[in-house]
Chain A
Amino acid sequence: MSLEKKRSAKGELVFTSFLFVAGVVVLWDASQLPDAMGVDFVGTKTFPSIIGAILVALSLIQLISVARGNVGEPEGIEGGEADSKVHFKPLLLMLAGLLAFAIGLQYIGFLLSSTILFSLVTFALNRKKTKWYVIILIAAGFSVLLYVAFNYGLQIKLPLGFDFNFGSSEVVVEEEW
């Protein structure tokens, strides 16, 4: 238990240091801004500098506080339960899904990338042994529904991808599975 706490304190120290560095970056960035005194009484640097300075000061206070044992308590989970251990595999699965969607959207189109995102998120969060093809089927169904709703209902065009001028991409989806 104490080992677990130590580890989480370490993580929080890293995170708080990151906030500190972010504050320094804000201050540095503000100092690079061109000064437009005369036109503007405040100048471009003032506001960002204040924010950067407060961020630096607060993160320093927090660093000391965390180092002295004031470890943050993770936010509770609505509709579920918190575990004492952290899970890297589901986290990475979900991040992979998100990245695949972000990068894939313009190349492989909405239907495929949405199916991938939906499936990976479900794999990450599902604890029951739902068969993988059931999940992918639901994911694909949801994606098609959403595409139709956006395209025809809301008139928002989502990219279909595969801009190679051969047939419609619905066919491509069927080939995939």
Chain B
Amino acid sequence: MDISNFIEGFSNSLSLVNLGFGLLGSLLGTLVGVLPGIGPALAISLLLPITYTLEPQSALIMFCAIYYGAMFGGSTTSILLNAPGESGSVMTAIEGNKMARAGKAGAALATAAIGSFVAGAIGTGILALAAPTIADFGLTMTPPDFFAMMVLAFITVSSLMGKSITRGLLALMVGLVIGLVGADPNTGAPRLTFGSAEALGGFSTVVVIVSLFAVGEALHIAFSGHLENGTLNKFNGSSRMSRSDWSRSWRPWLRGTAIGFPTGVLPAGGSELPTFLSYALEKRLSKKKDEFGKGAIEGVAGPEAANNANAAGALVPLLALGIPTSGTAAVMLAAFGQFRIDAGPMLFAEQPVLVWTLIASLFIGNLLLLVINLPLIKIWVQVLRIPAHYLFAGILVFAMVGAFALKNSTFDLLVAIAIGLLGMLLRRFGYPITPLILGAILGPMAETEFRRTMQLSQGDASALLGTPFTWVTYSLMAIALLWPLMWKLLKPKVIKQ
């Protein structure tokens, strides 16, 4: 670890401006975590157009804090409302809500928040230690290596998300097609523009993400279901744990961290898989198996630690290699791009202060989040009383304004509606959205690496398999493709019991 840069980064992160943006991000992150239907990926993409004029450092600090904060906040909704506030909190809802009904909401909320904090602190620590080393390794990677990494990310995320591999892969291909639109990067030849001059620049990432998440989700709700402000569980406002709660929680926290971090580093598509794995593990290890399904604290502590460690883990390949492993990380990559900063191996060499300020801010943000989520939890509960239809109406207006403000273009708004409609259809027919996002954002980068490889080998396609690293990567990919079979065998067992 680079000590002098780390110290400079730390003192930087303590500046009033950076602390302020860290706090703002923590608050916003907790908010979107608490609110069902809005996740960190949407929140960050909604903020992209309006943070254009900010210092890159401040904006990125805020975005990282949102990512962490959403993982903290998601548990509150799961526990008090029995509806996951965020996709990483689905497992928390199983035990957490039962605990709340049994009058132990305070303990559930406390173990979730403290577990998130512990996992966030350990995860950020490993991130600080590991990322520079991985970045050094990244500097030695060649274009075919990068291409292989991106293909790995595509394939694993597509096959791990959702219930069917073909649907996941099809969603990915649709994303790649969206990424194709615009001028060919080398020759400028118009691709899929059908004569439209405005399409020549390609679809803006912000427009694609905002329309898929905000417009697509709202249309899906209107078409296939209805909103319901569920009934809140009773909660007296004090989140405390008894001695036995502590002794039952600390091991699941650590185990959750151990599961969440590596699955964040690997392209597993976000926090769903690790939280599921953590829940399954806690259930197996528990001495009081009969309590599972009736409010076992381990079932809250483990998954909640896992989803925070997962967020920290996802930042490792994002910062060190420029490879996103989840939807939110993909949006963060787009955020770096907006400020013309290349996330990846060169980041640590070119922008050491920025990177270390960011990492230091994560430590501080993690601490802020503990304070925001423990004593102030009552305030967040009030947020859940906002009628959901007004919330979605507000989000849609905000999303459309964001899509417009980027280039002051009506064309972008029409694109947003079209892609939103596509997002609705995908949801309707059980296609996962994350592979599409990854394809649209990472696709053009994969194309660049593909072309570099072919250029270097003078058109010889075997260069794509030219290094040992590519063999390892493609072997991992084969394993990932077989994984869903195992997942299918595992999942019904755990849910049933």
B390 touches A105 (CB 8 A): no
- Say whether A138 faces chain B, with CB atoms less than 8 Å apart: yes
Give per-residue flags for A56-81: 1 if the beta carbon is below 8 A from chain B beta carbons, else 0: 00110110010000101111011111
> A78-B83, A79-B388 given as contacts; is B173 within 8 A of A102 (CB)?
no
CA distance A146 to B393 in the complex (A): 13
A156 touches B176 (CB 8 A): no
A127 touches B186 (CB 8 A): no
Task: Pick the contact of B170: A47, A62, A156 (CB < 8 A).
Answer: A62
> A98-B396, A124-B222 given as contacts; is B455 within 8 A of A36 (CB)?
no
Task: Pick the contact of B393: A73, A91, A128, A139 (CB < 8 A).
Answer: A139
- Say whether B356 faces chain A, with CB atoms less than 8 Å apart: no
B24 — which chain A residues lie within 8 A by C-beta? none
A61 touches B166 (CB 8 A): yes
Measured between C-beta atoms, what is the minimum distance from A83 to chain B in Å? 5
Q: Which of B244-258 contact A (CB under 8 A)?
A: none
- Say whether B374 faces chain A, with CB atoms less than 8 Å apart: no
CA distance A88 to B397 in the complex (A): 21
> A79-B37, A87-B223 given as contacts; is B50 within 8 A of A154 (CB)?
yes
> A40-B451, A51-B173, A91-B222 given as contacts; is B50 within 8 A of A102 (CB)?
no
- Say whether B104 faces chain A, with CB atoms less than 8 Å apart: no
Most chain A CB atoms below 10 A, which of B167, B219, B221, B428? B221
CA distance A139 to B396 in the complex (A): 12
Q: Which of B209-226 contact A (CB under 8 A)?
A: 215, 218-226
- Say whether A160 faces chain B, with CB atoms less than 8 Å apart: no
Give per-residue flags for B165-192: 1 if the beta carbon is below 8 A from chain A beta carbons, else 0: 0110110011011001000101101011
B388 touches A125 (CB 8 A): yes
- Say whether A148 faces chain B, with CB atoms less than 8 Å apart: no
A61, closest chain B residue (CB): B166
Q: Which of A1-19 contact B (CB under 8 A)?
A: 11-12, 15-16, 19
The stretch that binds A, out of B7-15, B315-323, B359-367, B398-406, is B398-406
Task: Pick the contact of B226: A83, A101, A139 (CB < 8 A).
Answer: A83
- Say whether B392 faces chain A, with CB atoms less than 8 Å apart: yes
Instruction: Place the interface of chain A in its size category.
Output: 35 or more
> A91-B219, A127-B226, A146-B397 given as contacts; is B187 within 8 A of A44 (CB)?
yes
CA distance A124 to B224 in the complex (A): 12
B192 touches A29 (CB 8 A): yes
Q: Which of A131-157 contact B (CB under 8 A)?
A: 138-139, 142-143, 146, 150, 154-156
Interface residues of A (CB under 8 A from B): 11-12, 15-16, 19, 22-23, 25-26, 29-30, 33-34, 36, 39-42, 44, 46-48, 51-52, 54-55, 58-59, 61-62, 65, 70, 72-75, 77-83, 86-88, 90-91, 93-95, 97-99, 101-103, 105-106, 110, 114, 117-119, 121-122, 124-128, 138-139, 142-143, 146, 150, 154-156, 158-159
Interface residues of B (CB under 8 A from A): 35-37, 49-50, 53, 83-85, 87, 163-164, 166-167, 169-170, 173-174, 176-177, 180, 184, 186-187, 189, 191-192, 215, 218-229, 387-390, 392-394, 396-398, 400-401, 404-405, 408, 410, 413-414, 416-417, 420-421, 425, 427-431, 447, 450-451, 454-455, 457-459
Given contacts A62-B170, A82-B224, A125-B393, 4 further A-B contacts (CB under 8 A): A59-B170, A75-B427, A121-B392, A155-B53
